[in-house]
Chain A
């Protein structure tokens, strides 16, 4: 993942799960999980996510007269909400898909589990 892409994923993820915005250790663990999943995606899907992130950045100039990276947290959240209401279904569908990957990556972090009262996997054969 190139640094710009990674940064934009974190910026979107912070809106999807505010805890990522508030806790650096969780942010680090989240992006590690996201990377693990992202690198296992088929090329076509990975390209589509890259494209979606690019579109998010580009549309930010139209809606906010600013790059996505420079938006305040509040503005970023408002802008993502706008994208979820976007008239082009495929943008909403793509964003919903990315939301899923973000949620799976975040809730896959061991240190998040106590906050949802999940005791972790029962497993007799951990390597």
Chain B
């Protein structure tokens, strides 16, 4: 039997958990640290860019639905967590958000000096850079052309890749390791430092200094476990929950009784960054499925209408899912896959008490989320703007939800505001999705509106911390990866003090 006592146990091997571990072990190389990961041990050699196989990297094969069945949430359930399947778009948290977190939530450590110095270092380590214009594929070129005609300013995205071969489908796992996620950056580093990683190890509940887990057999074609299947109790001086937004709050809720936690904020203030991926058919063949999928974005409507637009492109099945309708017409539309442009709409949703992660009777995660009227408005406006961009870019057919007509064609150009309307938005029928869940164990100076203190420690506990996207007090409004790293670094640098 292995010795299952550790100084620190980290639950979850996503960017939150591994960044924490990386920074922790820089200053404390002699600590005995374990990471427990419920997903299996798979790395670039196991990825194949095939959609059906690679759905296995996601929770519930990519099909986690909210309780009301109105929004699907994608999150990685594999070594590296969502960083194994994310795109690599790298944003610094906007100053307005950081100021709000400082003022409203008392996160005083987020000074300009700390943030800039930390993110300079983080960006260096994960190779964040702007992609050269020569990398723009047709989708990105046409997006810029359409936006320019409409007077919408476009900016270049920063990405964290190294020697990327532009295979196209980052969200099916990077087969060459070009994407500088946890699998390529943090995990190799911490393994070298002696950190132990236990995969297929599901944390059921925690107590002060104790972690209760079930280890299951490794799935076929994945690397073997280093613990035999069974039930274990591991012990540690400190426990760091980094199980992601879908699970960190759920673990706390499952453990609340034993921990004596009564904080009503656990699981609350969930934000999802609701998204639509929409497509238009260009008059030219553009083979958008090759090349880096996204190089540009527009934040022009961020302050006024609460959304971002980014370029994007997806594999055939997910593209088909994103196109409304079914039957013969849908099949005919899909025949133009090699002419499709694609735009990702990301809406800034407000952190609301009633949007939450809860658990069902069996202790499983339930996403209890309703789209607010403001978010609906933002989605509709974004659909209208994106449709105009498609037309100006040269698209001949446009397929969007909340539209009275499918597909929209150039004669509809002048009538977009009357054809795309909130009254046509049937959330039970539209492929609304989220890949950026945030909150549920928010960080703040007071337990009255938060779950964790300024150092990530869960209020009312002695040994339990959080280090992942569930710490966000509100939506960070941009793709969250760098902000997760920033908070995890802070927690790691202070946990032993």
Residues on A facing B (Cβ under 8 Å): 15-19, 33, 36-37, 40-42, 44-45, 77, 84, 89-90, 92-94, 96-97, 99-101, 103-108, 112-113, 115-118, 121-127
Contact, CB under 8 Å: B428 / A96? yes
Distance in Å from the Cβ of B342 to the closest Cβ of chain A? 14
**In the complex, which residue of chain B has the Cβ closest to the Cβ of A33?**
B52
User: Which range contains the number of B residues in contact with the other chain?
Assistant: 35 or more
- The interface residues of chain B lying within 8 Å CB-to-CB of A93 are 65, 68-70, 428-429
Contact, CB under 8 Å: B290 / A118? no
Contact, CB under 8 Å: A118 / B429? no
Distance in Å from the Cβ of B41 to the closest Cβ of chain A? 15
Contact, CB under 8 Å: A41 / B60? yes
| 18 A–B pairs (Cβ distance < 8 Å), ordered by A | A17-B331, A18-B327, A40-B61, A41-B63, A45-B65, A96-B69, A96-B428, A97-B63, A103-B317, A113-B316, A123-B167, A123-B175, A124-B175, A125-B47, A125-B48, A125-B175, A126-B48, A127-B221
CA distance in complex: A15, B330 (Å):
11
Contact, CB under 8 Å: B48 / A121? yes
**In the complex, which residue of chain B has the Cβ closest to the Cβ of A94?**
B69
Instruction: Known A90-B69, A108-B52; judge A100-B169 contact (CB<8 A).
Output: no
| B338 part of interface (Cβ distance < 8 Å) | yes
In-complex Cβ contact of B169 among A92, A97, A121, A127 (8 A): A121
**In the complex, which residue of chain A has the Cβ closest to the Cβ of B172?**
A121
Distance in Å from the Cβ of A110 to the closest Cβ of chain B? 9
| B262 part of interface (Cβ distance < 8 Å) | no
| B249 part of interface (Cβ distance < 8 Å) | no
**In the complex, which residue of chain A has the Cβ closest to the Cβ of B426?**
A92
CA distance in complex: A15, B48 (Å):
30
Distance in Å from the Cβ of A34 to the closest Cβ of chain B? 9
Main secondary structure of the interface of A (DSSP, over half): helix
Contact, CB under 8 Å: B316 / A108? yes
- The interface residues of chain A lying within 8 Å CB-to-CB of B65 are 45, 93, 97
Contact, CB under 8 Å: A108 / B51? yes
Contact, CB under 8 Å: A104 / B56? no
**B64-94 with Cβ < 8 A to chain A:** 65, 68-70, 72
Contact, CB under 8 Å: A97 / B48? no
| B2 part of interface (Cβ distance < 8 Å) | no
- The interface residues of chain B lying within 8 Å CB-to-CB of A18 are 327-328, 331
- The interface residues of chain A lying within 8 Å CB-to-CB of B284 are none
**B13-59 with Cβ < 8 A to chain A:** 44-53, 55-56, 59
Contact, CB under 8 Å: A99 / B44? no
- The interface residues of chain A lying within 8 Å CB-to-CB of B61 are 37, 40-41
CA distance in complex: A23, B44 (Å):
35
- The interface residues of chain A lying within 8 Å CB-to-CB of B428 are 89-90, 92-93, 96
